[in-house]
Amino acid sequence: MSKPLVGIIMGSQSDLRIMKEAAEVLDELAVSYELTVISAHRTPLRMVEYATEARNRGIQVIVAGAGGAAHLPGMVASLTSLPVIGVPVKSSNSVDGWDSILSILQMPAGVPVATVALDGARNAGILAAQIIGATDKALGERLDSFKKSLQTKVEAAAKSIEANGWKSVL
């Protein structure tokens, strides 16, 4: 793939079970990315270097997933002017994911983090592509096709239920 446009980072390797969904949808949309583990608490200098050098390396959007205290997305957003999309991850040390959601969502003025649903890495990947697709015509067209395919799937499901009854799909 070409030079990465999206950086996908996560606080722990255990988050990969969720964060891989961002990578998978970026693959579907032919958007180049890099993926790595960076811990705000265990590798803070690595986090600072990643966030401050991302733009120079061609990254346009950062997708950051974290569970528990979930400081990674906000700390990265404090170090860069690139858009940061936070993915709260329900982890083994999580309080039903609420600690992660609130840690990412409740950012102070001037340090925004776009926040998706708990374990919503697929939507984070789509949002990253849409941000880039706002100025990349070819990607914008791929996203239009992607959205149309979602509509087609729902319409097909509706027709099937209407024709065969709801019990036919369970």
115/170 same-domain check: no
User: Taking a C-beta distance cutoff of 8 angstroms, is the pair 5, 60 a contact?
Assistant: yes
**Residue pLDDT, tens place only, 147-167:** 999 999 999 999 999 999 999
Is 142 annotated to bind ligand?
A: no
Say whether both 144 and 124 belong to one domain. Answer: no
Is 42 part of any known ligand binding site? yes
pLDDT band at 95 (very low <50, low <70, confident <90, very high): confident
Task: Check pLDDT > 60 for residue 1.
Answer: no
| Mean pLDDT value of segment 107-130 | 97
pTM of the complete model: 0.94
Domain with 111 in it: what CATH number? 3.40.50.1970
The mean pLDDT value of the chain amounts to 96
Q: Clarify whether residues 98 and 144 are in a common domain.
A: no
- Total domain count, the chain: 2
Q: Is 1 within a domain?
A: no
Q: Find out whether 149 is annotated in a ligand binding site.
A: no
pLDDT tops 90 at residue 169: no
Residue entry with tokens 């309080």: 95
Q: Which helix (H) or strand (E) holds 9?
A: strand 6-10
Q: Containing domain of residue 33, as a range?
A: 6-135
Whether residues 89 and 155 share a domain: the answer is: no
Residues 57 and 44 in one domain: yes
